[in-house]
Copies of this chain bind each other. A is one copy, B any other.
Amino acid sequence: MQTRWGDREARRRDIVRAGLALFDEDGLPALQMREVARGAGIALGTVYRYFPTKESLYAAMYAARLREFVGGIRQTLAGTDDFETVFVAVATSYRDMYVAFGRDLEVLSPVGGSEPVDPELFDAAVGVWAALRGIVERAGARDPDLSMAALWSAVIGLAGQFTTVRHELHAYSWDDATRYTARLYVSGLAGERDG
């Protein structure tokens, strides 16, 4: 299906799709503007009529993936509110994005950076964050926001640890480590409530 001359919306999608294909295949070094152009079936210069820099293309690719991430968490939350199950699901989705995008992940950050985000995505992220906060609150957190900061750090850290060679250090699987971390937090939060 050929994108028509002048169809800016379809052209933009073609470019982002071509970028993600290269990126998924061989990482950031493979994201070369000449290859993007080739994948999108256009000339090199045309890519720059849609994205003024390589970095802005990367940002668009990232936004596309973020949308999928938030959608996945929403689906999990629709099915359960068990702390451990939700923690493992969120951490696992996060890890998958981390593998691709690395340290610059801004997943679920409703405040966001300097650029205005798609409002629909923004609202979805805020909703997800509030739902997660509710689960933490029911687990006994005295200061749910501070607990969320700690929990979110655990998610980031597990992804970081199991994404490098470092994880070969110990014998624990992703699932074991993630579930154990969830239980440790539940126990710690229960201690806050009861202690």
Contact = CB atoms under 8 A, between A and B. Distances in A.
B166 A106 contact: yes
Most buried by B among A106, A150, A177, A180: A150
User: Interface residues of A: mostly helix, strand, loop or mixed?
Assistant: helix
A96 interface: no
Nearest to A110: B169
B177 A188 contact: no
B110 A180 contact: no
Contact of A103 (B152, B164, B168, B180): B164
B176 A146 contact: yes
A113 interface: yes
Most buried by B among A111, A143, A149, A195: A149
A138 to B, nearest CB: 16
Nearest to A155: B157
A112 B169 CA distance: 8
A158 to B, nearest CB: 5
Contacts of A106: 164-166
A171 B170 CA distance: 35
Contacts of A191: 187-188, 190-191
Interface of A: 102-106, 109-113, 143, 145-150, 152-158, 160-161, 163-166, 168-172, 176-177, 180-181, 183-185, 187-192, 195
The 8 closest A-B pairs by CB, nearest first: A157-B157, A153-B157, A188-B188, A156-B157, A187-B191, A184-B188, A103-B103, A156-B160
Given A149-B180, A150-B181, 11 more contacts: A106-B165, A111-B165, A145-B170, A147-B184, A149-B161, A152-B161, A153-B177, A155-B157, A156-B161, A183-B188, A187-B192
